[in-house]
Amino acid sequence: MTARKQRTRLAFGEKHLESYRRLGNALGKISNTEQFMIALSWGFKHGTRVEEFKRSDTGPRTEYLQPEHLAIIAAIHLAETGRPDALCSAEDGFDIAEQYAEGGILLLETAMDEPGDFAKMLAGEVKSEVDGLA
């Protein structure tokens, strides 16, 4: 068994590069990392995970992930597997993250095509989520 090669970036799905660009513009030119994290959390929240998809060469570099991003990825990894020891493999966590991000961007793409202000819809959703937690 050979050790998995450590990835240097989290991949955007090849088909959705344009949607990531639109997402970034809609939310005020946010970074690749932020775009990825929003897609990931959106996919996780709505339980949409795409396991098979073609990865692009574009996406946030792992070295730029902040501790809180890594914690979110790990938390989703744990929630998905239910096994704490799964956290020993960061690469597996990244796989899951990419798959949820792919599911998330798919949903967001549909939302962006719908009439109305997408950014305001997203802000409203986040706000009600936060209010619900309180």
Partner 1 sequence: MKIRRLEIENYRQYRSLTLDLRDRSDVVIIVGSNGTGKTNLLNALIWCLYGREDYYAHQMDSSPLVNQKAVEEAGEGDLLTVSVSVEIAFNNGAEARILRSQEFRKGGGAAGPPEQKVLLLEDVNKGYKRVTNADHWIERWIPSRLEPYCLFDGERLDNFFRHAEAKKAEDAILQIAQIDLLKRLKEHLEKVAGDLYSRSAKESGGQDRGLAKKLDDDRAELEGLQKKIADEAKSVERYEDAVRKLDGKMGNISEITAAIKRRKALEDQLEQHKQNVSEAWHDLLQWAASTAPAALSYRALEGLAGTIARARDQREIPPRVAPAELVRMLEESACICTAPLKEGSPERTAIEQLLSRYERVNELGEAFLDLEPGLNIATAQVRASAQTSKALMRRIDDWEHGQESADEELSALKSRLAGHEDVEVQQTQSALNKAKEALETATRELDYKKYRARELREAMARTEREIEKLDAVADKAKELQRQARFGRECLRVAESIYKQLTNQVRERVAVSLQDHFQRMIWKHESIQSVSIDERYNVSVKSRHGFEILPDLAAGERECLALAFSLALGEISGYELPMVIDTPMGRLNPDVQGYVAGVLAKTTEDLEGGHNHQLIMLMTETEYNPDVARILSGRHPRVFKIVFDEGEAASGLVESGALAVAK
Binding site for partner 1 (CB under 8 A): 27-28, 30, 34, 37-38, 40-42, 44-45, 66-72, 74-76, 78-79, 84-85, 87-88, 119-120, 122-123, 126-127, 129-131, 133-134
Q: At closest approach, how far in Å is the CB of 43 from partner 1?
A: 9
Q: Minimum distance from CB of 17 to partner 1 (Å)? A: 19
Can you read off the two tokens belonging to residue 38?
């929003």
Read off the tokens for 105: 């961007």
Nearer to partner 1, 9 or 77 (CB): 77
SS3 category, 55: strand
**Phi, psi for 83 (deg, rounded to 5):** -120, 115
Phi first, then psi, for residue 9 (nearest 5°) are -145, 155
